[in-house]
Amino acid sequence: MTVLDMKNVGLTLGKTDVLADISMHVAQGEFVSILGPSGAGKSTIFRLLTGALHSDRGAITCYGLPLTRNQQGFAFMPQSDALMPWLRILDNVTLGLEVQGVPRKEARARALPLFADFGLVGFEHRYPAQLSGGMRQRAALLRTVLQGRPMQLLDEPFGALDALTRMQMQKWFEARWQSARWTTLLVTHDVREAVALSDRIYVLSRRPATVIAEVAVPTPRPRFGSPTPPDAHALEAHLLDILLTQTGDTL
Amino acid sequence: MHIPLPRRSGAGLTRGLPAVLSVVSAFALWEIYVQISGISPLILPAPSRVLEQMLLNREVLWRNTVPTLQATLFGFSLSLSVAFVLSVALDFMPRLRRALFPIFVVSQTLPLVAIAPLVVLWFGFDLTPKILLVTLVTFFPMLVALVDGYDSTDPEIEELLYSMGASKRVVFRRARLPSAMPYFFAGLRISITYAVVAAIFAEYVGARAGLGIVILNAKNSFRPDLVLAAVVISSVLTLALFAATALLQRVALRWRDAKGDQ
């Protein structure tokens, strides 16, 4: 079943053509990545989905219905963790539910059982500044999935972490995803991350963005922890090749 | 490895020591100078004499402190309410902000010496003109702090809230208002230091009682010791109000002190 379907979506902001022609779809339980050079408009696609921007051309549907102003199909995780520094972790995590009008008590009852899976037990009443980068990112992810939306939008969730923490987080995330199977759209410019986590990958061109490649990743999971299989290596090299021709720099 | 940090109160005492020492030695130097030079107390009274006069005149001083404190607190409360209501209105209506902000800036250019007698002329010798003058002097730093504070909100937090389906009002309450709090307290601390001085000035221009009247009468009867006694009370009032806001800030912004293990 298709959760998200974008057909020939285009967007012009002022005089800049940001998106030329974007068509993509995400099925229930599928993990799809959008890979592209910096400034290609990857995050812009998310802003269309969250309603912060509206497309000029084309159609976006969620479960076959066009996006309306008050659509609630997506839970969004921004690039920075965007945790509120003045709220304790528990209150940060239940923010989405409280905005939806769920009473605080019930929101907490729904959140607390998940703290163990997200490695946050004992930190419910800490402030974000008291947590490590990896923990903050897990808290932000918990806040995202707790909203109970049909689909998660993750905007470079591991981009701001140091290399070691990032690898730990990716491995942890793969395990979480395998048991929960959240329908996920991930924006990244990290080829290895895209290949390791995704069922399918869309590659964007530079601005104005079009989809220049769509590849399926056949490698069986779990992909972290075991040596990278040769077909995954070949795929990484292939994707990197496509991306490098798009950066426009000729050295 | 866990290195235990010294407790906060102890660290605070040690930190406060240089300040106490410098104030005490300044008064000591002043006292010594007056004793050695034999200067007339009509020109420069020693701190000991000021203290003595404070004790002798404690009833008069207390009777005149109450109206000053009243004017300060009422004026400051009004100022706080006006600044908050205006800041919310300006945040929701950028056009209003562009229209009104120049007026507020102009209100801060008015010399108090000129405006205070006029306000007393219009509103009489009672509490009202003092409250108005305290408000005029103190609302602007708080208003600017709040308006700037709202704008300091992390755009990603706002975008996140909108993606959750939050309305503009919800975004204000959950993100913009808490983001503005550190700025607000900075403005509050600046404002509160003006409040007592503004009240005394308003009394000086025309009132029935108050520290301003004490200062005016003492000056006219060549009693610098009494002038300084009133000054000491005014300083103590300001310091107490300042300490109260600092305490309030500690409680309201506890999250800013939360670092590392607790």
Chain B, nearest residue to A74 by Cα: B163
* B-chain residues near A126 (CB < 8 A): 258, 262
DSSP state of A148: -
Confidence band for B3, pLDDT divided at 50, 70 and 90: very low
Read off the tokens for B113: 């010496």
Confidence band for B72, pLDDT divided at 50, 70 and 90: very high
Confidence band for B4, pLDDT divided at 50, 70 and 90: very low
Confidence band for A3, pLDDT divided at 50, 70 and 90: confident
Mean pLDDT taken over chain A: 88
Strands in A151-155's sheet, in edge-to-edge order, are A65-66, A57-62, A2-13, A16-27, A209-216, A200-204, A31-35, A184-188, A151-155, A74-77
Range of A61-70, A99-108, A174-183, B200-209 with top mean pLDDT: A99-108
Q: How confident is the model at residue A144, as a pLDDT? A: 93
Confidence band for A220, pLDDT divided at 50, 70 and 90: confident
What is d(CA B196, CA B71) in angstroms, rounded to the nearest whole number?
A: 8
* B-chain residues near A147 (CB < 8 A): 164
Mean pLDDT for A135-160 is 91
Chain A, nearest residue to B164 by Cα: A96
On whether the B37-253 domain is CATH 1.10.3720.10, my answer is yes
How large is the ipTM? 0.88
pLDDT at A58 over 90: no
- Output the 3-class SS for B108-170: CCCCHHHHHHHHHHHHCCCHHHHHHHHHHHHHHHHHHHHHHHHHCCCHHHHHHHHHCCCCHHH
Q: How confident is the model at residue B259, as a pLDDT? A: 67
AA identity, residue B10 = G
pLDDT at B56 over 90: yes
pLDDT at A17 over 70: yes
Q: Which residues, at least 6 apart from B138, have a Cβ–Cβ distance to it below 8 Å?
A: B75, B76, B79, B191, B192, B194, B195, B198
What is d(CA B244, CA B107) in angstroms, rounded to the nearest whole number?
A: 28
**How far is the CA of A54 from the CAs of A44, A70, B68, B133, B174, in angstroms?**
10, 12, 58, 50, 25
User: Which residue among A82, A87, A130 sits closest to B160, beta carbon to beta carbon?
Assistant: A82
Mean pLDDT for B215-243 is 93
Q: How confident is the model at residue A208, as a pLDDT? A: 86
What is d(CA A80, CA A122) in angstroms, rounded to the nearest whole number?
A: 23
What is d(CA A198, CA A36) in angstroms, rounded to the nearest whole number?
A: 15
**Bigger pLDDT: A86 or A176?**
A86
State CA A141 to chain mean position distance: 10
Helix pair B211-220, B58-92: axis angle to 10 deg: 130
User: Which residue among A50, A74, A86 sits closest to B255, beta carbon to beta carbon?
Assistant: A86
Confidence band for B79, pLDDT divided at 50, 70 and 90: very high
Helix (H) or strand (E) holding A232: helix A230-246
pLDDT at A242 over 90: no
Mean pLDDT taken over chain B: 89
What is d(CA B200, CA B231) in angstroms, rounded to the nearest whole number?
A: 10
Q: How confident is the model at residue A113, as a pLDDT? A: 92
Alpha helices in chain B (DSSP H): 8-37, 47-56, 58-92, 94-107, 112-123, 127-151, 155-163, 168-171, 177-205, 211-220, 224-252, 254-257
What is d(CA A88, CA A167) in angstroms, rounded to the nearest whole number?
A: 26
Cis bond before residue A128 (omega within 30° of 0): no
In chain A, what percentage of residues exceed pLDDT 90?
Answer: 36
Q: How confident is the model at residue B260, as a pLDDT? A: 52
Q: How confident is the model at residue B11, as a pLDDT? A: 58
Q: List, by residue range, all CATH 3.40.50.300 domains of chain A.
A: 2-73+152-246
Q: Which residues, at least 6 apart from B262, have a Cβ–Cβ distance to it below 8 Å?
A: A126, A130
CATH of A2-73+152-246 among 3.40.50.300, 3.40.50.360, 3.30.200.20, 1.10.357.10: 3.40.50.300
User: Which residue among A82, A99, A130 sits closest to B157, beta carbon to beta carbon?
Assistant: A82
- Weakest mean pLDDT among A21-35, A36-50, B33-47, B227-241: A36-50
Mean pLDDT for A51-59 is 85
Cβ–Cβ < 8 Å for B193, B204: no
pLDDT at B2 over 90: no
Q: How confident is the model at residue A127, as a pLDDT? A: 94
Q: How confident is the model at residue B13, as a pLDDT? A: 67
Cβ–Cβ < 8 Å for B142, B187: yes
- The torsion of the CA quartet A88, A90, A96, A100, rounded to 10 degrees, works out to -110
- The torsion of the CA quartet B235, B237, B239, B240, rounded to 10 degrees, works out to 160
What is d(CA A112, CA B197) in angstroms, rounded to the nearest whole number?
A: 52
Rg (CA), chain A: 18
pLDDT at B1 over 50: no
Confidence band for A15, pLDDT divided at 50, 70 and 90: confident
Q: How confident is the model at residue A32, as a pLDDT? A: 95
* A-chain residues near B163 (CB < 8 A): 50-52, 74-76
Q: How confident is the model at residue B247, as a pLDDT? A: 93
pLDDT at A59 over 90: no
Q: How confident is the model at residue A69, as a pLDDT? A: 58
Mean pLDDT for B145-153 is 94
For chain B, the domains span 37-253
* A-chain residues near B161 (CB < 8 A): 95, 99
pLDDT at A169 over 60: yes
Cβ contact, residue pair B165, A79, below 8 Å: no
DSSP state of B176: I
Helix pair B58-92, B94-107: axis angle to 10 deg: 150
pLDDT at B7 over 60: no
